[in-house]
Amino acid sequence: LFTFFPPSSDLTRERSKVRPRAGWMVMGKRGRPSALEVCRVLAVFFVLFPAVSLQCKILKCNSEFWASTSNTGPEEEFCTALRAYNSCVRRTARTCRGDLTYHSAQHGIEDLMSQHNCSKEGPTSQPRARTPLPPPPPPVLTDSQERSDGPEVCHYERSLSRSTAAPNYTHCGFFGDPHLRTFGDDFQTCKVEGAWPLIHNKYLSVQVTNTPVVPGSFATATSKLTIIFKNFQECVEQKTYHAETDELPAAFADGSKNGGDRHGANTLRVVEKVPGQHVEIQARYIGTTIVVRQVGRYLTFAVRMPEEVVNSVEEGDNQDLYLCLHGCPANQRIDFRNFRARATEAHSGGRSRSSTGAHGFTYQSAKAKCKERLPVEDLYFHSCVFDLLSSGDINFTMAAYYAFEDVKMLHSNSKRYHIFDSDPLMSSAAKRGKDLLSVFLLNLLAVLLWIFCT
């Protein structure tokens, strides 16, 4: 569930560059570790193994706040409830850092503080529950409410200074088993079961939920997708798009197809390309296009976004969890190149019949099937082969095909459409050689230190 907050009319448009942040460092000393060092180790442990940490309590904070403000009361009482809400949300920061609802709540609190002129300092008594009133019916928007144009600030390229260089557009894609192409053109295959954030910046947030493709397997695919477009100046109100298996709507969650009642509302639109299969969301006010598809039982996601918007980091936000920006965590990655190498060795060794997967595809038959749609043997082709061997679901062939079609539509550099990998056997050998060289150099350094220090 997501919390929706009233729009702020004076939200400023800030675009800043990502500043490098220091990563985690745990420094030890000889002898007994200090309490600070133990705390740091525990913090890293909970980041690496979130399943053992406490559950996120953000929904409890939300329900308490909305229950306390459901009836109109004095402004001072509202501000007191809002400060209590803020305190509750801040207490969940450690356990909710990767939760999209938590980040949405943070933005909503800032907007409400500004709208009601509430001070951050003051009483924070716990909100008192009241009987909630039934919500008003959502407004029905007609075509006459959709503006064909809007202020210049609502058109990304027009809002840029004439002296500014043309924007550099980047692409991120998420499809199949799942495979991720980051904004930096890194290509990864990941486990990432459950809810994971793809994008989170000042303008929008994207979260996917992945479920196992086959019981007992690490392979997962996307069954749910949520996109929150944040309130922005006179252009758009906050809007949420939610899709899941067999439900690919042609409208936002409130039934509207544009950004609301503001003058620039039509710079955010949902366009249905193929009913139930292909939806495009155009967010011209931030120069962004999003493509959502359902292929078989699962969803695919692709986005074209200006680099400036990608890097619009919020103050104090840790961007490490957002997959489109930094890729999947190391412990969530699947090295399907090694999988490919083993399949190649099995086939070349004459064991193609015995190497038939549990789902009916051999390495050679999977290659032949993927070749029908993906003639170039790039990483999209190899991801298709991997998906067929690991799941047996023929629809993954089309998922890889459409993912590449989206690249051709959304990527700004035609020379980077295809991503290639060197021969898997050679890269495995090169990796082993590099590892041996690293061990040799470390041993040599240890010997030299021992000679010169004794």
Which of the residue ranges 31-45, 193-207, 342-356 has the most confident prediction, judged by mean pLDDT?
Answer: 193-207
Structure confidence at residue 150 (pLDDT) = 66
Q: What integer is the mean pLDDT of 340-365? A: 61
Q: CA 337, CA 382: separation in Å to the nearest integer?
A: 9
pLDDT score for 112: 84
Q: Which of 152, 162, 161 is nearest to 285 (CA)?
A: 152
- Quick one: 328 and 197 in the same domain? yes
All residues at 6 or more sequence positions from 73 whose CB lies less than 8 Å from its CB, including other chains = none
Q: Is 103 within a domain?
A: yes
| Residue 33 reports pLDDT greater than 90 | no
Work out the average pLDDT over 356-361: 61
Residue 188 has pLDDT above 70, yes or no: yes
pLDDT at 47 over 60: no
| Res 212 pLDDT > 50 | yes
Q: For residue 436, what pLDDT is reported?
A: 54
Question: In 186-267, where do the E strands start and end?
Answer: 187-189, 194-200, 204-212, 220-229, 239-244
CATH of the domain at 210: 3.40.1000.10
Same domain, 70 and 179: no
Predicted local distance difference test score (pLDDT) of residue 412 = 92
Residue 450 maps to a domain: no
**Is residue 402 assigned to a domain?**
yes
**Do 266 and 187 share a structural domain?**
yes
Look at residue 216 and tell me if it is in a domain: yes
Q: Which parts of 313-439 are beta strand (E)?
A: none
How many alpha carbons lie under 13 Å from residue 382 in its C-beta half-sphere? 22
448 to each of 226, 434, 445, how far by Cα in Å? 56, 21, 5
Residue with more model confidence, 308 or 73: 308
Predicted TM-score (pTM) of the model is 0.62
pLDDT of amino acid 421: 78
Confidence of residue 34 (pLDDT cuts 50, 70, 90): very low
149 contacts 263 by C-beta, under 8 angstroms: no
The mean pLDDT of 142-167, rounded to a whole number, is 70
Among 56-60, 419-423, 437-441, where is mean pLDDT lowest?
Answer: 437-441
Comparison of pLDDT for 348 and 328, the residue scoring more: 328
| Residue whose entry in the numeric block shows the structure tokens 């060092």 | 37
Q: What is the pLDDT of residue 78?
A: 82
Confidence of residue 241 (pLDDT cuts 50, 70, 90): very high
Residues in the chain, overall count: 454
Domain around 412: 336-346+360-416
My answer on whether 312 and 341 are in the same domain is: no
Nearest in space to 384 (alpha carbons), one of 334, 374, 376, 311: 374
**Which of 27-41, 231-245, 267-281 is least confident?**
27-41
Q: How many CA atoms lie within 13 A of 215 on its CB side?
A: 0
Q: Pick the residue with more confidence: 189 or 98?
A: 189
Query: What is the rounded distance in angstroms from the CA atom of residue 173 to the CA atom of residue 387?
Result: 16
Average the pLDDT over each of 7-21, 127-141, 218-232, 318-332 and give the range with the smallest value.
7-21
pLDDT of residue 96: 78
366 and 225 belong to one structural domain: no
How far CA 195 is from CA of 62, 168, 189, 278, 321, in Å, comes to 19, 30, 16, 22, 11
Asked if the model's pLDDT at residue 228 lies above 50, the reply is yes
Q: Quick one: 216 and 325 in the same domain?
A: yes
Q: Is residue 242 part of a domain?
A: yes
- The more confidently predicted of residues 408 and 29 is 408
> Can you tell me the mean pLDDT for 445-449?
61
Question: Is residue 122 domain-resident?
Answer: no
- Check whether residue 273 and residue 200 sit in a common domain: yes
Rounded mean pLDDT, 385-403? 94
The DSSP call for residue 171 is: E
What are the tokens at 367? 């290659």
Instruction: Give the per-residue pLDDT at 5.
Output: 45
The answer to whether the Cα torsion of 334, 338, 344, 348 is positive or negative is negative
Residues 268 and 400 in one domain: no
* Spatial distance between the Cα atoms of 411 and 404, rounded to a whole number of angstroms: 10
Q: 22 versus 393: which is more confidently predicted?
A: 393
pLDDT of 374 > 60? The answer is yes
Q: What are φ and ψ of residue 213, in 5° steps?
A: -80, -45
Regarding predicted confidence, which is higher, 142 or 378? 378
pLDDT bin (cut points 50, 70, 90) of residue 440 is low
Give the mean model confidence (pLDDT) for residues 193-210.
95
Mode of pairing for the β-strands spanning 179-181 and 187-189: antiparallel
Q: What percent of the chain is predicted at pLDDT more than 90? A: 43
Do 297 and 342 belong together in one domain?
no
Residues 230 and 274 in one domain: yes
For residues 57-78, b (16+ Cβ closer than 10 Å) or e, as one string?
Answer: ebbebbebbbbbbeeeeeeeeb
Considering only residues 361 and 248, tell me which one the structure prediction assigns the higher pLDDT: 248
Most confident of 94-98, 269-273, 345-349, 411-415: 269-273
Q: Please, which pLDDT band fits residue 380 given cuts at 50, 70 and 90?
A: very high
**Do 322 and 369 lie in a common domain?**
no
Give the model's pLDDT for residue 265: 92
The total of structural domains in the chain comes to 3
The amino acid sitting at 421 is D
Question: Do both 319 and 377 map to the same domain?
Answer: no
| Distance separating alpha carbons of residues 226 and 281, to the nearest angstrom | 12
pLDDT of residue 207: 97
Residue 438 covered by a domain: no
199 in a domain, yes or no? yes
DSSP type of residue 160: S
**Higher model confidence: residue 389 or residue 106?**
389
